[in-house]
Amino acid sequence: MKTLAKHPSPRAVWLPKPASSGVYRHWLVDAGSLTRRLQSRCKAFSVKKVCQQRGRALRDEAQLLGMRAHENALFREVFLCCGDRPLVFAHSVLPRRSLRGAWHGLGRLGERPLGAALFANPVVVRTPLTYRKLMPSHVLYRRAAELLKNKPPCLWARRSVFSLRAGSIMVTEVFLPGVLEL
């Protein structure tokens, strides 16, 4: 997989480095396949689909994907789990134009990992990871913490855009406290 340099605008709230991420840092900065890394550490790895629906992207997501303000996308949200323990909440934004050609079947993954499909194709280009500490007021924090009994004061997330001639897909991964037990 190739990496494409992309510099965030000065107004971006997603950062090029995960400053003060502490114990999550080694999980956040690994640019390889998160799915593969979790599978290697957990024999009972599974993907639990939360939702898949059409809607509008968040403003910063739409901007990064080059989408118009009212353009619809397909959203896929899953938990990557070890047994019954959620480790990572994954939020993917797939603009309609990206669901053509080689990525036509991505809208029908069900409980199969998206990462496996993305990293299997050597011509997929990935932007560098960006990072954000999500507070309880952020919509992705609320979705990610839904299954947690004890809600942490913040959750660390990373995201990047995967591109192919067919289009671009944004993947945001929110790391839950359970990942630290692996």
pLDDT for the residue numbered 1: 53
List per-block mean pLDDT (blocks of 10 residues) for the chain, which spans 182 residues. 44 83 97 96 96 92 90 94 97 90 80 88 94 96 95 97 91 98 95
Angle at 114 between CA 6 and CA 132, to 5 degrees: 45
- Which domains can be identified in the chain, with CATH numbers? 23-181 (3.40.1410.10)
pLDDT for the residue numbered 106: 80
pLDDT for the residue numbered 9: 38
pLDDT for the residue numbered 4: 45
pLDDT for the residue numbered 24: 98
